[in-house]
Amino acid sequence: MYLISQLSYELSVPATLPFDGGILSSAASASRTIYQLARLPLPLLFSGRTAKNRFLKAAMTEKLASWSDTSKPARGIPGDDLVALYRAWGAGGFGITVTGNILIDHDHIEDKGNMIIPLSASPTSPSPLMAGFQRLAKAGKADGSLLLGQLNHPGRQCLSTIQPHPISASDVQLCHLQMFGSGFGKPRAASTAEIQSIVAAFVNAAVFLDKAGFDGVQLHAAHGYLLAQFLSPTTNRRCDAYGGSCLTNRARIITEIADGIRANTRRDFVLAIKANSVEFQDGGMSSEEAAELCVLLEKHGFDLVELSGGTYEDMGLRHRRESTKAREAFFLEFAEMIVPRLTRTRAYITGGLRSTGAMVDALGAVDGVGLGRPACSEPDLPWGILRENVSGCVRPLVDDDDFGITASLGALQMQRLAKGMVPLDPSDRETVERFLEAKRVWLRGFGGGRGVSLPSPV
């Protein structure tokens, strides 16, 4: 079903996966200050929990859960592959590990293979779904990492081959964009009753994960998904309590979800959010509004905010100026405007960080750093840094600003980790050339209108 996994077996690599710190990385020295900052535990002030260090494994869509074209209850269940993948990341030294997006509706998903916790899933009754998430929690937490489940609804960003009639804040279609032969249907604006059902589904999924043993949840309100569609003036044209020029109204769906989670989960349950620090399009959320949003989120008890940016139309996951390229982090300049307004909510930044030096520079502005795609090639990168034997992640011989290539490589690496195999070495020229050729063959054979999708941003 996940045809990109075939690439793994065309590129032979030894199948033993050691976790001895810094695989695929070269040893290098750095100042003691770098390691002291990275090692510092981070207390989360609303839940009372503590992350053991400042590294966060950022969410990426895995598409490794069960799928059935005919049986909805058989969809979205974590199995052996996801358990193995999160066992690897859990052992890698991250203070916090965030899963890929867990969807809250069988009919509205980002892609086949997503984990799914629908509103009908009972948090108190035994089920294969509960058993799968319990196994996942046990594996991801085994080495002391806090495990958060990222909850999501795609809204209008659902392929028309999966959902031709999506729902959104307003009826603004995602036009002029195709993903492997599939576009995106014109959404309809959610009714107030439907919004309340969506809020209930997010809350139910959080309670479900609480009962399954997760340490908390992260709401996905970035990258143009449903919660971001409510936040953005470009996609929210409502005139009711959930729209308009007032940010408090556009954020109401998020604050209602947050209040519901806080009221129905244990006291030390971590509440986090992934939010855009900026949208790179005319009329989108500005950094000033993002700062206002973070202050509002703090009032509703969010332990941490992970700052990202962009939408499907412009993901923003690239360096736009030489100044950001030198500092590596895509969104650091926006974080520096936002974070000083927070007093209790912790701030993380994800995107572009590759060297240990840039990570510690970022820690001068934020509380923690997130690693996504680098963690696919080096699941134990934090241990390598904390043990002072690496200067950063391995530098892949692909264009780091080409999200399609790097996301495809990340998906392949996750497939390998899920099977207990060593990731490919993306710094080896022959390996990369074989990967790129295999990807071209894959696209010719399975893409172009057949509804097969490569990983999308999470």
Domain CATH number, residue 108: 3.20.20.70
Mean pLDDT over 326-332 rounds to 62
C-alpha separations of 311 from 38, 55, 116 in Å: 30, 25, 22
On the question of pLDDT at 32 being above 80, the answer is: no
- Whether 10 is covered by a domain: the verdict is yes
Q: How far apart are the first and last CA of the chain?
A: 20
pLDDT of residue 311: 52
Of residues 21 and 46, more confidently modeled: 46
On the question of pLDDT at 131 being above 60, the answer is: yes
Tally Cβ neighbours within 10 Å of residue 177.
12
CB 54 within 8 A of CB 368: yes
On the question of pLDDT at 327 being above 60, the answer is: no
- Whether 316 is covered by a domain: the verdict is yes
* Mean of per-residue pLDDT scores for the chain: 85
CA–CA separation, 345 and 301 (whole Å): 8
- Whether 454 is covered by a domain: the verdict is no
Q: Which segments of 310-413 are extended strands (E)? A: 346-350, 368-371
Q: How confident is the model at residue 391 (pLDDT cuts 50, 70, 90)?
A: confident
- Whether 55 is covered by a domain: the verdict is yes
Q: How confident is the model at residue 8 (pLDDT cuts 50, 70, 90)?
A: very low
Structural domains in the chain (count): 1
Domain enclosing residue 65, as ranges:
3-446
Mean pLDDT over 252-256 rounds to 99
CB 347 within 8 A of CB 305: yes
- Whether 264 is covered by a domain: the verdict is yes
Crossing angle of helices 128-141 and 80-90, in 10° steps, is 20
pLDDT of residue 34: 57
On the question of pLDDT at 324 being above 80, the answer is: no
- Whether 456 is covered by a domain: the verdict is no
- Whether 453 is covered by a domain: the verdict is no
- Whether 375 is covered by a domain: the verdict is yes
Q: How confident is the model at residue 28 (pLDDT cuts 50, 70, 90)?
A: very low
Q: How confident is the model at residue 388 (pLDDT cuts 50, 70, 90)?
A: confident
CB 315 within 8 A of CB 339: no
Mean pLDDT over 206-230 rounds to 97
Mean pLDDT over 431-449 rounds to 76
On the question of pLDDT at 113 being above 90, the answer is: yes
Residues contacting residue 413 through CB under 8 Å, at least 6 positions apart: 376, 377, 423, 424
> The pTM is what?
0.88
